A and B are shown apart, each in its own frame.
Chain A
Amino acid sequence: MKRREFLKSATALAAAGVTAPAIWSPAKAQSRKETLLTISENGPNNLDVQGLGTNRPGYEASWNCYDRLISHETKTLTDGSLSYDRDKFKMELAEDMNVGDMSITFKLKKGAKFHDGAPVTAQDVKWSYDRAVSVGGFPTVQMKAGQLNTKEQFVAVDDSTFRIDLAKKDRLTVPDIAVVVPGIYNSELLKKQATEKDPWGLDYTKSNTAGSGAYKVTSWKPGVETIYERNDAWVGGKLPEIKRVIWRTIPSGGNRRALMERGDADLSFDLPAKDFAEMKKEGKLKMISNPITNGLYSVELNVKNPPFDNEKVRQAVAYAIPYQKIIDAAMFGVAKPMFGAASNDGPGGAVWPQPTGYSTDIEKAKALLQASGVGPIDTTISFDLGDGVNSEPIAVLLQESLSQIGIKTTINKIPGANWRSEMAKKSMPLMVNFFSGWLDYPEYFFFWCYSGQNAVFNTSSYVNKEMDAFIDGSREAIAVGNQAKYAADVKGFVSKAFAEVPRIPLFQPYLNVATQKNISGYTYWFHREVDYRAIVKG
């Protein structure tokens, strides 16, 4: 081959590389107007929230494709963004909800149909609730949080009336009916799909939607894309504007950003704080950010074993944490501080999360450590590598700060797959961790993280009778509407948690979303997924 020929062929190759069409071909421009292209790092692994090991993106499919009896109203926050309203419920599949003394009765909307055209009846509702409390794992635990424990509690009175009998009064029962888990499934369809090994048709709902919701999944390629089509016969609310949603999984954060900035994607969900801060500065896109309700990043100390069984050591750590540095350097300012309050006895009232009275004070930390009488400390800081983007810089800053008061640490990065099992072992002495509860009530957070039931999330293994009395007391008080006792109990458990610091709150993180400027209606939800029903493309 001659040089000239070679060069010719090389140029031809290079030219082939640049004649590429734009992402939207003109023939499809019309459908683009009615279609929303969403991108995120991960896609669903299961379309059914009641399935085995469904991940968070899977909740989104459930939320948009199934109806619940009731849902939440939307409210506008002070910064102009939209959020669900924790305290106001609206009817979805139910036409009417009647909360009696020890039961709740629902009347179903007339004309509600599943995607296959079968009418929605109270028998379907009963079957779906039975399913939620029977499949085990996460959905069943979530139902229990609202005292929805056994099949016997659910009664189909007639075709359009459904009743829940309460075992115990609890204010979390009604909110728990509006979470993702108790969606209404097409029981006749699923009974046909069920097998002896799989009596609830979980295999079928894993990759098919069998609901009555505003959308149905028409194509699902795990790890690649999910396509929703609107259900025009939806009666659960106002018919959504978006006809079709294409949800692509784009693992590379840089590419997600490029897609948004070039205007090829409509909505990018759950951005890392760094990208969010930078993109906001550039001002090309609509950037929305909401604090994650009932969610906290904390430093958690194992109180079962030395040295952190000593309260003074824990307080010393709480004074040694470089709080502001963490917010600035690890979270790029996109976080709500949870430190530096006037005192440690819950001055914010009956709300959660609220700031502790701690702030960075190395001298005080040194003094406390000396007063504790505990010898030289050498320990490990553990964190979940799956959340490394936030946790790793926090751990490094923490390590540096602890060394200033003479606590030597090594950093232990735990792969995402192992994090849960490590948490369950309860042997990590000190960790950086995140917890958030769907139900946005202080007692709900404390029930998981501080109570004597010692759930997985009580990583400190903190068990204290007085604390339990406060938590149980608050739940009982609010169930019967005793606001004064409730407020006192909340103040009780908050100030106790802050004084004894088995976990040291750092900050409340934000859920960050970027959309093109012509997209409106994005609403923050406790489940931290996109609700496509409210989105409008202008």
Chain B
Amino acid sequence: MLTTIAKRLVTVIPTLIGVVIVTFLLTRVLPGDPAAYFAGPAATADSIAEIRKTLGLDRPLPEQFVHYVSDLAHGNFGNSLSTGRPVSVEITSRLPASAELTLLGLILSLAIAVPLGILAAVKQGSWIDHTCRVVATAGVSLPVFFTGLLLVYAFYYLLGWAPAPVGRLDAFATAPPQITGFYLIDNLFAGDLETFRSALAQLILPAFTLAIFSLAPIARMTRASMLAVLASEFVRTARASGLNDRTVIITYAFRNAMLPVVTTLGMVFSFLLGANVLVEKVFAWPGIGSYAVEALLQSDFAPVQGFVLTMAVLYVALNFTIDILYSVIDPRVRLEG
């Protein structure tokens, strides 16, 4: 097992090198001149040149690249021009915000989609099957920013049940001391239940927005693979042996149907991180996606590179975890580089 994991890790290295080169080049060939942008109003050609020099943009590309790589090797992602802070600091403070939201969204989505998918497969053609189809289609076809705004309009503006969409905490709460960066967990550590409640309340609408969007693939995949498994011979055998419905469906059928669901889950998690960008904009969420988009709009290279790199590492780690999960779920699956 350990050697296969090690082998798997080795294959990751070329991917990462590729990502480093591509991100560097990509941000350099993008149109837009950061020096002109940051020279601000009333810029003259001289002041733009001065700023270009300060930013090191007047040096040849290979030299800039060597600088970039050696900085990375020292754990230095560079400084963001738009927020004026080291990118590594920004990413470590923003990644947990995005991750907390995405994970909660995913958990909500799982909690709804998996039972829905199973029920739809078991009672194929019944009203619950149709409900599953309608909910999934509606969820995936509504753009997230639209669902987000709709939820804000209904639950905050009209009903007043949800708190104001002002980010992770309401304006008067203070953030808990950072341990994991997940406000829910940190607040529990700090024993601050009032802030915990506030953080949870702020999370609910955006997490639901993400959940609604990601229902479809999970529910449909659960249903499809359950149908295939339910029709198979070992399930028929189990039923014939007089096992009760619960044991047949959960223990026998569902466990065997989980593999494709887990694969889908990995995909869903990665596209949720992408969909996050819009949700973050709507809910003023200080996440990593909105940070990267803003940086891109301002030709601010360092955060974009840092973002792409972090995401690449995250995906690689995710795929890795899913691969390992396979072998846990189904011992017949072997990890081969």
Residues of A within 8 A of B (CB): 1, 3, 6, 9-10, 13, 16-25, 27-28, 31-32, 35, 37, 39, 45-46, 51-55, 136-138, 140-142, 145, 206-207, 221-225, 246, 248-252, 254-255, 258-259, 261-262, 264-265, 386, 415-418, 420-421, 424, 448, 455-457
Contact = CB atoms under 8 A, between A and B. Distances in A.
B176 to A, nearest CB: 14
Given A53-B37, A137-B51, A254-B153, 20 more contacts: A6-B116, A17-B162, A17-B205, A17-B208, A21-B170, A21-B201, A24-B170, A24-B172, A25-B172, A27-B194, A45-B82, A52-B81, A53-B82, A138-B39, A142-B42, A222-B90, A248-B284, A254-B149, A264-B164, A421-B37
A70 to B, nearest CB: 21
Contact of B153 (A1, A39, A258): A258
Nearest to A265: B164
A448 B42 contact: yes
B294 A456 contact: no
Contacts of A145: 42
A421 B36 contact: yes
Contacts of A246: 171-172
A419 B103 CA distance: 38
List the 8 closest A-B pairs by CB distance, nearest first: A53-B38, A222-B83, A20-B201, A421-B33, A421-B36, A138-B40, A420-B36, A417-B32
Contact of A424 (B48, B111, B162, B173): B48
Contacts of A51: 84
Contacts of B44: 141, 455-456
A262 B37 contact: no
Given A23-B166, A136-B47, A416-B298, A16 B204 contact: yes
Contact of B290 (A16, A18, A27, A251): A251
A251 B145 CA distance: 12
B184 interface: no
Contacts of B153: 254, 258
A251 B284 CA distance: 6
A224 B286 contact: yes
A430 B334 CA distance: 64
A417 B299 contact: yes
Contacts of A222: 82-85, 90
A225 B175 CA distance: 12
A249 B284 contact: yes
B128 interface: yes
B115 A141 contact: no
B112 interface: yes
Contact of B43 (A1, A141, A249): A141
A1 B119 contact: yes
B37 A420 contact: yes
Contacts of B166: 23, 39, 248, 250, 259, 264
Nearest to B173: A25
Contacts of B281: 251-252
A45 B291 CA distance: 12
B108 interface: yes
B58 interface: no
Interface in B86-116: 90, 93, 108, 111-112, 115-116
Contacts of B81: 45, 52-53
B84 A207 contact: yes
B143 interface: no
A254 B284 CA distance: 12
A475 B284 CA distance: 47
A180 B281 CA distance: 30
B170 to A, nearest CB: 4
24 contacts: A10-B112, A13-B111, A18-B155, A20-B201, A21-B170, A21-B198, A25-B198, A46-B84, A53-B82, A137-B38, A138-B39, A207-B84, A222-B84, A223-B291, A249-B284, A265-B164, A416-B297, A418-B33, A420-B36, A420-B43, A421-B36, A424-B43, A455-B44, A456-B44
Given A3-B128, A418-B32, A20 B163 contact: yes
B167 interface: yes
A448 B42 CA distance: 8
A252 B282 contact: yes
Contact of A248 (B156, B171, B198, B208): B171
A136 B156 contact: no
B212 to A, nearest CB: 12
Contact of A52 (B31, B54, B162): B54
Contacts of B40: 53-55, 137-138
Given A1-B115, A252-B284, A417 B34 contact: yes
Contacts of B93: 221
Contacts of B90: 222
Nearest to B157: A258
B51 A262 contact: no
Contacts of A455: 42, 44
Contacts of A17: 155, 161-162, 204-205, 208
Contacts of B194: 25, 27
A385 to B, nearest CB: 9
Nearest to B85: A222
Contact of A45 (B84, B108, B128, B201): B84
Contact of B161 (A20, A39, A53): A20
A417 B298 contact: yes
B162 to A, nearest CB: 5
Contacts of B50: 136-137
B118 interface: yes
Contacts of A10: 112
Contact of B39 (A46, A264, A420): A420
A261 B297 contact: no
Contacts of B229: none
